[in-house]
Amino acid sequence: MKKIINKSIIELIEGDITEMDTDAIVNAANAALQLGGGVAGAIRRKGGPKIQEECNKIGGTFVGGAVITTGGNLKARYVIHAVGPRMGEGNEDEKLRNATLNSLKLAEENQLKSLSFPAISTGIFGFPIDRCAQIMLSTTIEYLSGKTSIERVVFCLFGKESFDAFRRELEKQT
């Protein structure tokens, strides 16, 4: 499913984010930037040790923040590590909004034209998928509605439930 926002495309696909051929993929990271399980574990396995080595040099970032590393052996040239909130820690909606926005800004600062997001915080961090879709899509639509050089934002969603939640929300917001 694709929608045009200003001069950019938002696309939804169901698939494996580590297979995406965008300039960057976004890792649903933890604040310590340790590539453990879930999306981060898949990135570590397919991307190789160089990504974790760069994360170790950076040392971490705050919840809502984002940092960039090489893509290692991935098709994507870069990985943007965005730290989403854990449910119950407080102010989760704002933190997820910031993780999304800071990823978009980091892509722009690095002259990237395309990036792929997962549904940040919906795995072991326990964030509800419908709420995630609403926040991530509204933040992205608002960002792309302004002046940007980003041409394409893909939401690469794992499983039909996640894809359907994002599809319903994108239809509602556009």
Question: Where do the structural domains in the chain lie, given as residue ranges?
Answer: 2-173
Q: Residue 36 and residue 22: Cα distance in Å, rounded? A: 23
Q: Is the Cβ–Cβ distance between 48 and 76 less than 8 Å?
A: no
Q: Is the Cβ–Cβ distance between 72 and 50 less than 8 Å?
A: yes
Question: Would you write out the chain's pLDDT as a tens digit for each of its 174 residues?
Answer: 999 999 999 999 999 999 999 999 999 999 999 998 888 999 999 999 999 999 999 999 999 999 999 999 999 999 999 999 999 999 999 999 999 999 999 999 999 999 999 999 999 899 999 999 999 999 999 999 999 999 999 999 999 999 999 999 999 999
| CATH number belonging to domain 2-173 | 3.40.220.10
Alpha-helical regions (H) of 23-128: 38-47, 49-58, 92-109
Enter the pTM of the model: 0.97
Q: Is the Cβ–Cβ distance between 55 and 33 less than 8 Å?
A: yes
